[in-house]
Amino acid sequence: MRAKTPHALWFTIVIGVIALVGSMSIAVSVGAVSVALDTVLGILVNKIVPDSVAQDWSMGREAIVWDIRLPRTILACFVGAGLAMVGASLQAVTRNPLADPHLLGISAGGAFGAILALLHTGLFAGLLTVPLLAFLGSLAATLLVLAVSQFASATSADRLVLAGVAVSFIVMSAANVLIFLGDPRATHTVVFWMLGGLGLAQWDQLIYPAVILLGCGTYLWLKSGTLNAMTVGDETATTLGIPVARFRLTIFVIGALITGVMVAFSGIIGFVGLMIPHIVRLLVGGDYCRLLPMSGLCGAVFLVWADIIARTIMAPDDMPIGIVTGLIGGVFFVWLLRRKMA
C-alpha cells in the first residue's frame, strides 16, 4: 500500500526507523558469540556515560560489541543507504528502471581505484588514499559508460545498461591485471574488495562515509523536484528550465562520489541500488521527496540484515556480504524483468 498522505508517510517513516533500530540491536547481539540485548544496552550506555551502569560483563564481550559489531553495523547502514539513494537517483536521470551503480560499472570503478591504492600506489594521502582513488575510479567508470553509450548510440534504457555491463567487465579485467601484477603476499587483501564485506569497519574511519552520505544525500533530497521532472522526459524537464545535460552529469558525479567512498570501505556490494528503490515505490509512490529518504532507510535495514545472514550462516566464519546481496539481487532482477514484460 502506498503512503500517499503526509500522515501515512510519517507512519511509514516511523515504522522504518523502528525496524532499523531493532535490526541494528539484533545485528550487534548475534554472531559466533551471542550477547544478550540487555548486556548490549548496558555496554552502550556505559560507553556514552561512563560508570553509569554496573559492569557485569567481560571485557571480551565489551570489545565484541563496541569495537567490532557496532561500527560494522553502522557502516552497513551507511553503505546500504548510500547505494539505495544512488540507485534511485540514477533511475530518474536515465529513466531506466534497471539503473544501478553495480550494473552501470560504477562499483567496479571504485574497486579498481581501491585495489590500485592497496597494491601499487601506497597510502600517499594517508587514510584518504583509498576513498580518494575509489571515487576517481568510480568517476572514470561513469564517464566511460557515458562515452561508450554515445559512441555506440546506446540511447535507450536497455542499451545503456548493456553499455554499463560492458564497461564493468572491462574495468574488472583491468582490476584483475592490477592484482596479477601486485605483490602475491598482499593480493589476499583485495579479495575483500572483490566480494564485499564489512569486517574492516573501524570507528576512526566511519567519519568519511558519514560525511559523504549526509552531504550528498541532502543535495539529492533538495533536488527531489528536479528528479521528478527528469522521470517525465528531457523535453518536459527542459521546458521547466532545467539544464538537463548538466544536471544528469551532476547526478552521475554525485553517484560516483557516494559509490566510490562506500566501495572503499565495503568492497563491491551489488543490487542494493536496483532493488530498494523499486520496493520503496510500492510503499510511498514515485515522488522523490518521499522516495529518497525512504530508500536510504530501507537500504540501511536491508544491508544490516544481509550482514546478519553473512555472519551467522557459516559462523564462526564470515561469508562475504556481496554473495548474499548478489543472490537476493539476482532473484529480484529476474522478477523485475518478468514484471516489466507482463
Domains and CATH numbers, the chain: 77-341 (1.10.3470.10)
Confidence band of 1 (pLDDT split at 50, 70, 90): very low
Which residues, including other chains, have CB under 8 Å from residue 151's CB and lie 6 or more apart? none
For residue 10, count other CB atoms closer than 10 A to its CB.
Answer: 11
Cα–Cα dist 334/292, whole Å: 24
Strand extents, DSSP E, the chain: none
Query: What pLDDT is attached to residue 340?
Result: 62
pTM: 0.88
Mean of pLDDT over the chain: 85
Neighbours of 177 (CB within 10 A): 12
- Round to whole Å and give the CA distance between 238 and 302: 36
Block residue for cell numbers 546506446: 154
Q: How far apart are CA 83 and CA 86, in angstroms?
A: 5
pLDDT by residue (tens digit) across 58-104?
A: 888 889 999 999 999 999 999 999 999 999 999 998 888 878 888 77
pLDDT of amino acid 260: 84
Q: Of 290, 315, 331, whose CA–CA distance to 12 is shortest?
A: 290
- Whole-angstrom distance, CA of residue 52 vs CA of residue 45: 7
Q: How far is CA 302 from CA 78, 264, 274, 321, in A?
A: 11, 20, 12, 11
Q: In this model, does residue 142 exceed pLDDT 90?
A: no
